[in-house]
Amino acid sequence: MGERSPGRAGLAGRNKIASIGQGVGSFRASGGDAVGVIVGAIVAVIVVVGGWWVVRTYNRLVRLRNQTQASWAQIDVQLKRRHELIPNLVEGARGYAAHERGTFEAVTAARGKAVSGGLGVTDRAAAEDALTATLGRLFALGESYPELKADQHFSTVQAELRSAEDKIAYARQFYNSAVQSYHTALESFPGNVVARLGGAHGRREYFEAAGVAQDAVQVRFA
């Protein structure tokens, strides 16, 4: 006898098994696609957050760097004002104490060094400190020569210089504070990482002159 043809029940069973297999395969395929979508979404979020983190940190470094530059500009303005007033003081004192040539020459030489170009912050501070020391000798003439002390023009210029010195002291504190904040951002995470990615970021010098903003403010004629 030949082989018996499968009955309807057998064919139905086979079709059911095939259908189940196809369903499992379809589920696996759809599940794999879902996992891929999830992984891709996670990677995209990481990239976006990381990019935002880098940009935010870099912009903060730029802002702090610009703040140090702006605060130094304020010091520079007041130092130039100081330099402009000194010749008036020298000329005013010369009229009453012409024989004090050594003092006048020392002040003029120190001022010339302070206004010379190409000095860094540290060298500039040292030059201003030296200028303050010579100004002390000039201010002392006011006590030695009562006529000079009573001169209205000399007193007015001295008051303007005192105002400039006070502003230098304030600007100096603000600048050094800005430099400290900038250094902290550069040396701590994540700034120390982002700073290496590019840009003109680096440490700044403190304005450490003791005389420019401190001793000169204490000079008084009375």
Q: State the DSSP H helix or E strand holding residue 135, giving kind and residue range, or none if neither.
A: helix 121-144
pLDDT at 23 over 60: no
Q: What is the pLDDT of residues 53-64, one digit of tens each?
A: 888 888 889 899
- What is d(CA 89, CA 80) in angstroms, rounded to the nearest whole number? 15
pLDDT tens digit string along 115-172? 987 888 889 988 998 998 888 888 888 778 888 888 888 888 888 888 888 888 899 8
DSSP secondary structure letters along 48-116: HHHHHHHHHHHHHHHHHHHHHHHHHHHHHHHHHHHHHHHHHHHHHHHTT-TT-HHHHHHHHHHHHHHH-
Q: What is the mean pLDDT of the chain?
A: 78
- Pairwise CA distance, residues 179 & 66, whole Å: 10
Over residues 70-89, mean pLDDT: 92
pLDDT band at 184 (very low <50, low <70, confident <90, very high): very high
- Whether this prediction's pTM lies above 0.75 is answered by no
Which residues does 209 contact at the CB level (< 8 Å), separation at least 6? Answer: 124, 125, 126, 128, 129, 132, 172
pLDDT digits (tens, 9 = 90+) for 81-117: 999 999 988 988 888 888 888 999 999 999 999 998 7
Comparing CA positions, the residue from 130, 106, 115 lying closest to residue 210 is 130
Q: Please say if the pLDDT value at position 46 is more than 90.
A: no
Place of tokens 């023009």: 153
One-letter-per-residue 3-state SS of 141-210: HHHHCHHHHHCHHHHHHHHHHHHHHHHHHHHHHHHHHHHHHHHHHHHCCCHHHHHHHCCCCCCCCCCCCH
State residue 218's pLDDT score.
Answer: 38
pLDDT at 63: 92
pLDDT category at 1 given cuts 50, 70, 90 is very low
Q: How far is it, in rounded angstroms, from Cα 129 to Cα 142?
A: 21
In tens, the pLDDT along 202-220 reads 888 999 755 433 333 333 3
Higher pLDDT, 52 or 212: 52
| Separation CA 141–CA 121 (nearest Å) | 31
| Residue 139 backbone dihedrals phi, psi, to 5 degrees | -65, -30
> Is 182 a residue whose pLDDT tops 90?
yes
**Would you state the pLDDT for residue 7?**
56
**Closest residue by Cα to residue 201 from 69, 70, 51, 75:** 69
**Sign of the CA dihedral 102, 108, 109, 111?**
positive
| Confidence at residue 75, expressed as pLDDT on a 0 to 100 scale | 92
pLDDT of residue 16: 53
